[in-house]
Structure 1
Amino acid sequence: MENLITGQSNPKPHHHRRHGAKHFSSARSARTGADAMQLPRIDFSGVDPSAPGAGTWSAVRAQVMEALTTVGCFDAQYPALAPEQRAALFDGAVRPLFALPVDAKRRNYYGADKPFHGYLGDIPGYESLAIVDGTKLELVRDFAGLMWPDGGSNDGFCNAVHGAASRIFELEEAVRRMVMEGLGVAKYHDALRASTWHLFRMSEYQAPHAAEKTVRFGSHQDTNLLSIVCQHEVEGLEVQTRDGERVLVKPSPTSLVVMVGQALRAWTNDRLYAPFHRITVGGDATRYSAMLFSVPNFQIQAPGELVDDEHPPRFKPHDNNDYIRFCVSEDGARHEDKLKAFCGV
């Protein structure tokens, strides 16, 4: 099969030996050092996503590349998603969504072959719902129609979710373009964009009603290209840097967390770092988040420009869906760095 992004042929992937950095292992969260550190903070107030190259674009691109090659994520100061728009999303849409009966939420289902596209509720203290192509208003309306068949809450929900998802998508696309430019492979941007879809996921992490923090979603690396995380008022996202340091990401009404996934790590031939991260919560306040995941709909293979003597091939070409299936398999569960185990060279 020809790769839609690089124009190269793709042999089937092979499993490889275990290799990877040690990730979070404790069942409960110790605070040692996590509160003291911060993610790189990058100001996008001077960036117009519709005008690449204008304003502070070049300076911000340099900061983005530094952050994604070293830490694998950053805190984007992004005033385009206004505080009132966040409030409409979380208070007017996300909270009412999770207040629905479980039977209603289970209608968020995309078929047995796509088990992670919709409702997730098998992890204690955690629930999540998602909209495939949630940046498209008609698909947000379809989702709302499933949740509220009588139509009573549809308009407000749709406006809040689509408005926020659209703003977050603009940031994701700007960062994705900056990465292509920063690596000198901007010519692939349009083809990659055309072969990428987006999942908008809303999650609830129940309060443990205890001072000690409890893990609600365990340590993992995202499998997609880029993840954009919009936190509400309650902290909980912990990111592990390349050198093993932990960072507790403090919520802010003007910021979004941008994170590299394994698909982009592979496509860039390991130039970018996909960090381990987890969610812990404590106290009496429930945590909510909304996330936009950009997902590849193409075979993952690094462009020839990113492979040379200094950067030999790190991963075999592979289908991202095959990789996801490996991640949730019994074999995949034994590995820390699942990408290297699945298709590492």
Structure 2
Amino acid sequence: MDLAQIPVLSLVADSADLPARIGESFRTFGFAMIRDHGIDQSLIDQAWARTEEFFALPVETKQKYFIPGQGGARGYTPFRTEVAKGAKEKDLKEFWHVGRDVPADSPLAASMPPNIWPTEVEGFEETFRELYAQFDEAGAKVLSAIAVDLGLDAGWFDAGIEDGNSVMRLLHYPPVSAESGGAIRAGAHEDINLITLLLGAQEAGLELLSKDGRWLSVAPPEGAIVVNIGDMLQRLTNHVLPSTTHRVRNPEGARAGHSRYSMPFFLHLRSDFRFVTLPECVSDENPDRYPVSITADDYLQERLREIGLKM
């Protein structure tokens, strides 16, 4: 398996030319790698430990935190629930979602239910509230660089992501058995959201589909996060910034007997944000693909139905 030659950029050292460099990486791969992102390593270490502790709980204990009809927005989603768009086999994974809390009387409350927290894992709520906040801050910095690269003001995205419907997902891919059939850990898909920030997993398996049709392995160095474009940003930029297909393949040999954990932060716009294609991304050669405006929540609900999380 060839390795994707994605440059590792610094949110601090590369600040002057970060917009151009991150834009080039996204146009080439749909992915970037970022170090000096400001997310505290000791907090990350705590998060891994508490993630493993939660998923080691009995199935019936985890099931208490599954909320039917909510599309997995908060709490636990059981093993083999989600399916990649267009796929036949459900993914070999289970996950937990942490979202943004908004006041009950907020106009956004209908699309952003309150968080729930497992009482069985000490420090779970404190750890993941803080990690969510740090992801949120890092994501805003990345979006600022993207905005400048697109010819926009550095703060262009700020209003759109204020109280955004962002979700942090704690993912567990259990050991792969012969009974898995044709299913894989995560089928080929594109993310729904604006950008995804991913803490590197201990086990390999993440791959992106290159423009020439090859699957390339994505392996961030220690301390770096992977950032990829989601379909919402692809839509907003009229495909100038592409949402790249990626997957998590099954391990082989002895590694099949090991669990894999990962922690993506899906950075979303406000639910009431209306998509209007950026004029900077429309030209005679690239006419507007999306003349009809819809809200971010309309788009999200449509996609949740496509991947089996909502009926």
Q: Same-fold call, TM > 0.5?
A: yes
1:228 to 1:159, Cα distance in 2 relative to 1, 3 A: same
Q: Percent identity?
A: 21
Residue aligning to 1:241: 210
Say whether the 8 Å CA contact 1:215–1:281 is kept in structure 2: yes
User: Deviation at 1:268?
Assistant: 1.1
- Where do 1:154-193 residues align within 5 Å? 154=122, 156-186=123-153, 188-193=156-161
1:26-79 Cα shifts (integer Å, max 9, x gaps): xxxxxxxx3x222412232525xxxxxxxx312122110001122111122236
C-alpha separation in 1, matches of 2:11 and 2:18: 10
1:175-212 Cα shifts (integer Å, max 9, x gaps): 111111111122632322326231111000012268xx
Say whether the 8 Å CA contact 2:220–2:226 is kept in structure 1: no
Say whether the 8 Å CA contact 1:85–1:164 is kept in structure 2: yes
Residue aligning to 2:7: 41
Residue aligning to 2:57: 100
C-alpha separation in 2, matches of 1:247 and 1:295: 26
Say whether the 8 Å CA contact 1:233–1:251 is kept in structure 2: no
Say whether the 8 Å CA contact 2:229–2:243 is kept in structure 1: yes
1:277-304 Cα shifts (integer Å, max 9, x gaps): 1112322221001111111221222133
Residue aligning to 2:172: 204
1:62 to 1:110, Cα distance in 2 relative to 1, 3 A: farther
Letter of the 2:54 counterpart: L
Residue aligning to 1:269: 238
Q: CA RMSD in A?
A: 2.9
- Where do 1:45-124 residues align within 5 Å? 46=12, 56-78=14-36, 80-91=38-49, 93-109=50-66, 112=69, 114-118=70-74, 119-123=76-80
Letter of the 1:323 counterpart: Y
1:82 to 1:328, Cα distance in 2 relative to 1, 3 A: closer
Residue aligning to 1:305: 280
Say whether the 8 Å CA contact 1:126–1:205 is kept in structure 2: yes
Q: Which moved more, 1:179-188 or 1:226-235?
A: 179-188
TM-score using structure 1 length: 0.71
User: Deviation at 1:243?
Assistant: 2.8
User: Deviation at 1:250?
Assistant: 2.2
User: Deviation at 1:273?
Assistant: 0.7
1:98 to 1:122, Cα distance in 2 relative to 1, 3 A: closer
Say whether the 8 Å CA contact 2:196–2:230 is kept in structure 1: yes
Letter of the 1:165 counterpart: Y
C-alpha separation in 2, matches of 1:164 and 1:195: 16
Matched residue of 1:128: which SS? Answer: strand
1:308-331 Cα shifts (integer Å, max 9, x gaps): 3233102232234433444455xx
1:92-117 Cα shifts (integer Å, max 9, x gaps): x10111122334433445662x3131
Structure 2 residue ranges without an equivalent (≥5): 81-90, 104-111
TM-score using structure 2 length: 0.78
1:161 to 1:195, Cα distance in 2 relative to 1, 3 A: closer
Say whether the 8 Å CA contact 1:42–1:75 is kept in structure 2: yes
Matched residue of 2:247: which SS? Answer: strand
Matched residue of 2:77: which SS? Answer: coil
| Structure richer in strand, relative to its length | 1
1:181 to 1:218, Cα distance in 2 relative to 1, 3 A: same
Aligned residue pair count: 276
User: Deviation at 1:247?
Assistant: 1.6
User: Deviation at 1:153?
Assistant: 3.6
User: Deviation at 1:85?
Assistant: 3.0
1:116 to 1:176, Cα distance in 2 relative to 1, 3 A: same
1:267 to 1:109, Cα distance in 2 relative to 1, 3 A: farther
Matched residue of 1:74: which SS? Answer: strand
Higher relative contact order (CA 8 A, sep 6+): 1
Letter of the 1:90 counterpart: W
